[in-house]
Amino acid sequence: MDEAPTGELIKQALEDARELVRIEVGLAKEEARDQLKSVKRAAIAAGIALAATLLFLSTATMALVLGLQGGGGGAIALAVAGVYLVVAVVAGGLAYRFIPKEPAGETRRRIEGEIKKLKEHIA
């Protein structure tokens, strides 16, 4: 008679553990998808920053050449180069901002919290 309730308790504990693992895996997948979206945004912004930097360098070089020739086109080219520089800096800042700073941070904190609760419960 004692074995039936103990067996039921063990069975219930295993089912609860299975359900917890299933929920935790689902949450981890969702967090991974969100972080992948952030990485994609960061890569796009970094690509824009790189392209704008190359445009800045080539336009600044052209401004230098035009300026050495003494024409008025050098100032215009320099202004365009300045716009490219601003775009490059802003896109670079966005790329840095989009990079996940703590991969799987929420998942790690949840698991650590569950382990802490389990240790306290066992002790």
Residue boundaries of the structural domains of the chain: 3-122
44 exposure class (CB count in 10 Å sphere: 0-12, 13-18, 19+): middle
Return the pLDDT at 116. Answer: 86
Q: Is the pLDDT of residue 115 over 70?
A: yes
Look up the pTM and report it. Answer: 0.73
Q: What is the pLDDT of residues 77-86, one digit of tens each?
A: 999 999 999 9
d(CA 14, CA 82): 64
Which DSSP letter does residue 103 get?
T
Q: What is the pLDDT of residues 42-73, one digit of tens each?
A: 999 999 999 999 999 999 999 999 888 887 78
Return the pLDDT at 4. Answer: 58
